[in-house]
């Protein structure tokens, strides 16, 4: 068995980590932290987990929670991991951070996009970027892993095979994506309350969303050419899901069949990626670690369109983190992860 700690277990990604770990064949959650809920049973904070964690209690974070753990998952808001990771990096076998604290390889990007300097820049080049379908060799047996978020995962998987094959220009790319409200986290905010979100659909983070440089970095690294992306996120009145519609200019005259073939060939051996002519649906990925992809080439306008759907809390967060941990530990990459979505 592998001993696991979940730091930040009171939030949505923490709850999803606990749920996935409960069904994992070798993971055993030994410690779970939640500073605002310290002392409360997991069953009280997350009632749906009561059958699998009847006795586990949340505790306040301290570095000792990592001691003796094979894996530590950090499901914390941006900025918090920069303080915590230096304290636990040498105390656990593998550390997987779900926040953006260690995803970017250039420390100068943090003040530009996050409004603050990085407090542990010396650790950035020690982290593997945790998107297995594109960077599996970097993740395998890594000790520090930064799992990318939902928007970046969806856009990168939709665009990477097209850009890597030279079928589309790496610059001038447009990504329009919609997220379920759980992507904003569990803490209440006026703009994510039920009455604000219900019957509404809106764009936010116009021109300066902080995940833009992460998308560009992932695409540039995989395709071997500098990428430039205009990203516009939207908030949709649903609990879970990401739907990313990505537009790129072709380098030649590809057909829809060509675009679909590039995606299908790139992911032919990937158990969590489904490529088809069907238009992807967020509901089809609900509760799964899967990504559904399609593509079209439009002769009339000269655009190539690639679309991805995924569950933002699973493949876009906690499921991806577990997938990375499996790789780092040298066990079955899909252990504990569902490929099939829930329906209805």
Look up 150 and say whether it is catalytic. yes
- CA of residue 94 relative to chain centroid, distance: 18
In contact, 97 and 81? CB cutoff 8 Å: yes
- Residues with Cβ < 8 Å from 47, sequence gap 6 or more? none
Alpha-carbon distance of 229 to 242, in angstroms, equals 18
Alpha-carbon distance of 15 to 100, in angstroms, equals 19
Read off the tokens for 55: 């006795």
- Local structure of residue 250 (DSSP, 8 states): B
In contact, 240 and 286? CB cutoff 8 Å: yes
In contact, 144 and 260? CB cutoff 8 Å: no
Q: What's the sign of the alpha-carbon dihedral 147, 149, 151, 154?
A: positive
Nearest to 232 by CA among 260, 256, 201, 200: 201
In contact, 57 and 315? CB cutoff 8 Å: no
Phi-psi region of 125 (alpha: psi -120 to 50; beta: other; left: phi over 0): alpha
Burial grade of 65 (CB within 10 A; 0-12, 13-18, 19 or more):
buried
Query: Annotated catalytic residue: which of 21, 69, 74, 150?
Result: 150
Helix H or strand E segment including 158: helix 150-164
In contact, 97 and 85? CB cutoff 8 Å: yes
Alpha-carbon distance of 148 to 243, in angstroms, equals 16
Residues assigned a catalytic role: 150
């Amino acid at each position: 068995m592998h001993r696991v700690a979940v730091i930040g277990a009171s939030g949505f990604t923490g709850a999803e980590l606990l749920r996935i770990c409960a069904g994992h064949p070798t993971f055993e959650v030994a410690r779970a932290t939640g500073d605002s809920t310290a002392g409360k049973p997991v069953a009280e904070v997350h009632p749906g987990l009561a059958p699998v964690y009847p006795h586990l209690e949340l505790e306040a974070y301290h570095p000792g929670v990592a001691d003796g753990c094979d894996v530590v998952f950090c499901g914390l808001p941006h900025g918090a991991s920069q303080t915590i990771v230096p304290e636990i990096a040498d105390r656990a076998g593998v550390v997987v951070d779900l926040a953006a604290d260690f995803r970017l390889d250039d420390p100068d990007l943090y003040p530009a996009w996050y409004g603050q300097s990085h407090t542990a820049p010396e650790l950035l080049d020690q982290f593997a970027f945790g998107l297995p379908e594109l960077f599996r060799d970097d993740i395998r047996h890594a000790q520090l892993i930064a799992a990318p978020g939902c928007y970046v995962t969806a856009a990168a998987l939709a665009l990477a095979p097209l850009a890597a094959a030279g079928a589309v220009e790496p610059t001038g790319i447009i990504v329009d994506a919609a997220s379920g409200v759980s992507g904003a986290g569990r803490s209440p905010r006026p703009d994510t309350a039920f009455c604000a979100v219900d019957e509404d659909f809106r764009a936010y983070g116009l021109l300066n969303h902080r995940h833009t440089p992460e998308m560009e970095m992932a695409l540039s690294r995989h395709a071997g050419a500098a990428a430039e992306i205009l990203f516009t996120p939207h908030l949709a009145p649903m609990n879970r899901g990401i739907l990313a519609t990505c537009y790129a200019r072709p380098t030649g005259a590809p057909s829809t069949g060509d675009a679909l073939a590039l995606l299908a060939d790139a992911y032919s051996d990937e158990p969590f990626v489904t490529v088809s002519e069907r238009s992807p649906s967020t509901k089809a990925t609900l509760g799964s670690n899967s990504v559904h992809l399609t593509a079209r080439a439009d002769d009339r306008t000269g655009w190539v369109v690639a679309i991805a759907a995924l569950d933002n809390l699973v493949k876009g967060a906690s499921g991806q983190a577990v997938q990375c941990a499996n790789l780092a530990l040298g066990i079955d990459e899909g252990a504990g992860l569902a490929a099939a979505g829930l329906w209805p």
